[in-house]
Chain A
Amino acid sequence: MAFEDLLNDPVIQKYLHELVGPTGMPVAAAPPDGEVTDEELAEKLDLELNDVRRALFILYENDLASYRRVRDEDSGWLTYLWTFEYENIPENLEDEMYRLLDALEEREEYERTHEFYLCEVCSIRFEFGEAMDFGFECPECGSPLEAMDNARLVEAMNRRIDELRDELNVDVTG
């Protein structure tokens, strides 16, 4: 099996699982060395050919696998020879860290600049304006809406934003 170092990282396992789902995971978790056909994989892993193909195409869409087509001289049929390209995983996850940082920064500003009210029965959160429109009563159950302190949330976001900026060497002034 190739790329064992990468596959030992629990975050990378989780990432692959997120992409291909539980049925595709046997394919994603055991990349062979060199080229392989979908049929060989299905036989080796004892999986439905369709599940193998589905997983391979998801990996392909995420730059984690490539294929070349060759024509079988006897049957005239096209065979797909697949190569796993997991060396691209770190770059993909680096992009995801930037995307997460963007979302955190946007959400942090929203949380910091708005007031929220909570229905403790239904666990539904309302912005101040919405809560006022409802007369500070939950539209679902009629319970009074209570002012909600999101300081802990904002603090946690700021902490992760700092950690991500530090890790990615993002210039704080830039």
Chain B
Amino acid sequence: MSASDAEADLSADERAGLELVRRSGGIHQSDFWKELDVSSRKGSRIAEALEERDLIQREETVYNGHNTYYLQPATRDLDFSLLMAGDMLSPFIGEEEINARSDAFSQWLMNLAYEEY
């Protein structure tokens, strides 16, 4: 089952929970349920359901002196070919700065417009 299939049949609460974890990049479960405005018991059930579907990672931790869990978005299998235009890789790889008007990027864009699409 792909990640998008796993997401398709989430309940509204679970979907909101997943979005919160993704938006925050990582959040303690004790903040998670408060932010979602649900009970701690319900927050815990949501986090467990998301973990079961491999949509988030859940690790035991101590936070503000309490045992809780740290929730993080699962690493997703992304389509890295979106970095390519024709046979050219994104020109920003290995570069510190992004220059949106560089010649290398113009070349990449020409590849995109006239080879890829």
Contacts and interface: CB of A to CB of B under 8 A. Distances in A.
Contacts of B83: 11, 15, 93, 96-97, 100
Contacts of A44: none
Contacts of B89: 11, 14-15, 18
Chain A interface main SS type: helix
A159 B101 CA distance: 19
A155 B109 CA distance: 11
B78 A167 contact: yes
Contact of B78 (A93, A106, A156): A93
Interface stretch (B27-35, B44-52, B90-98): B90-98
B99 to A, nearest CB: 8
Nearest to A93: B80
Nearest to B85: A160
B101 A152 contact: no
B112 interface: yes
Interface of B: 22, 75-85, 89-90, 92-94, 98-101, 105, 109-110, 112-114, 116-117
